[in-house]
Structure 1
Amino acid sequence: MKYGEISHFSHPQHKLRFEYAEVPFKCDGCKEVGIGSRFKCNLCDYDLHRQCALPSVAPLRHAFYPKCAFQFLARPPGDASRFCNACERDVAGFVLHCRACGFDLHPCCAALPHVLDAGAGGGDAVRLYLYRKAGAPCHRCGRKGRSWSYRSACKKYNLHVACVMEMLEESWHELYNGSGNGGGAGKRGLVGSVH
């Protein structure tokens, strides 16, 4: 096996090679969008977030859930539909699950940065901090919700994790597909920072 290559249970027919992607990809493990570090099969166009390709064997602990021990699972437990406690999106693939509490996290959501720098495209930069609960309605969707959110220190800006991801996906499509008016370029400071 070459340096930077791994074998993965979810794609045993070929090796996956580590690379840095400047274009968005859909992780074939957790089914969430990502950009940046990934493991890829060039023969099959199979991609995994780094967190999905190299999960921790030991239970994961997260600062927002100090009593939980999250175990990596290839699919959600049970037959009922499940959602990620961080972003409130459906869990459709790989998941970190706490058996004691029943909480679920996408592996990429569990690795979200606790601080994001926004507005690096020319205006004043705003630093956004990750919180477990939304303190105010989201500036994008208008809902308060139960999901994690990014909030500015001045508390003027509040965005759900899922809304930040939607904004990034839109920016990525504008940047890399040339759609829209190119307005996503001003958001480049966030690109690659989340998943």
Structure 2
Amino acid sequence: METTKRGCPRHQEQPMQLKPPGSPFKCSGCREVGFGRSYHCQNKNCGYILHEECANADSHASHRFFHRSQFELCEKAPGNRDRYCDACGKDVLGFVYHCSLTGYDLHPCCLYLKDSISDEEGQISLQLCEKVPSVCVRCNHRNVVDGVKGWSYVSSGSGRKYCYHVSCVKQLILENLNRGYFTQETNSVGMSNREYSQLAVRSMEMVPSGGSWRRSGTVRKYTKIAVLVFKLIFSAVFGNPITAIAALVEALVSD
């Protein structure tokens, strides 16, 4: 059985068990939501669960956006004040990479975000950026909050650059999760899972309503691009999509 760098603090004698993607979960380490593979304590009465990134996090790390910072993994935020992640702007509630010299903090999952993501057909390519060329498609601002720039995924290629805050993606996913969109069940008013999921994706507004992308083709092409962008950023931020989301993506793209 694979051994992780970190295990359950209450049952350290038992190795953590890797499980495939399933229902959304809250990581016991960083306290962030996860959708991909996860490590579980094997004690049947224990609910300790970790992201892959948290279970196998290195004790020390660096990041290209912070040249002067040397990050150390802490199991809780240092100091007596509230801290936020300098990548997504969200609160630090558990595991965090902290630099005592510069004061920067990063969620483990944010530190390990991919520098670039693209679909298999090469239609969409997005780059992780610290400085953005335009406002975020979702919130229409450059900064996540006042004084916090936050990281973004930015479309590459010629023409206008479209930016998507990592923070805004997280918020959109969590809002739709709370509405029950990420389940495979039929809701109480009789809407099918596919209709329910379509509503979830289209409420994301992950592609701007105007601009060259929408004018360049039909609404079908627009929807396909929207789904690709959603799938790519979702996967980068939260891990591999759960079964319902993967099925939804295939269904919409094939329409």
Q: What's the TM-score bracket when you normalise by the shorter of the two chains? A: 0.7 to 0.9
Matched letter for residue 132 of structure 2: A
Q: Which position in structure 2 is the counterpart of 1:52? A: 54
TM-score (norm 2): 0.65
**Mind listing any 5+ residue stretches in structure 1 that lack a counterpart?**
none
- The Cα offsets for residues 148-192 of structure 1, whole Å up to 9 and x where unpaired, read as 111111443111111122334456652425567312563444443
Matches within 5 A, 1:11-50: 11-13=9-11, 15-41=15-41, 43=44, 44-50=46-52
**Does 1:147 find its partner at 2:150?**
yes
More helix by percentage = 2
Q: Which residue of 1 aligns with 2:181?
A: 174
CA distance in 1, matches of 2:5, 2:174: 29
CA contact (8 A) 1:35 1:191 kept: no
Partner of 1:165: helix, strand, or coil? helix
Aligned partner of residue 79 in structure 1, secondary structure: coil
2:134 to 129, 133, 136: 136
Per the normalisation by structure 1, the TM-score is 0.83
Unaligned runs of 5+ residues in structure 2 are: 144-148, 188-194, 202-226, 239-255
Q: 1:177 to 1:31 in 2, by over 3 A?
A: farther
After TM superposition, what 4+ stretches of structure 1 lie above 6 angstroms from structure 2?
Answer: none
Aligned residues: 189
Q: Quote the Cα distance in structure 1 between the aligned partners of 2:88 and 2:54.
A: 17
- Do the aligned partners of 1:38 and 1:49 also contact (CA within 8 Å) in 2? yes
Higher strand share: 1
Q: Which residue of 1 aligns with 2:109?
A: 108
Identity %: 31
Calculate the aligned-residue CA RMSD, in Å: 2.7
Q: Relative to 1, partners in 2 of residues 1:129 and 1:168: Cα closer, same or farther, differing over 3 Å?
A: farther
| Distance verdict in 2 for CA 1:117–1:25, change over 3 Å | farther
Query: For the Cα contact (< 8 Å) 1:134–1:147, is it kept in 2?
Result: no
Matched-pair contact (CA < 8 Å) for 1:136–1:144: yes
- Residues 1:114 and 1:160: Cα distance change in structure 2 (over 3 Å): same
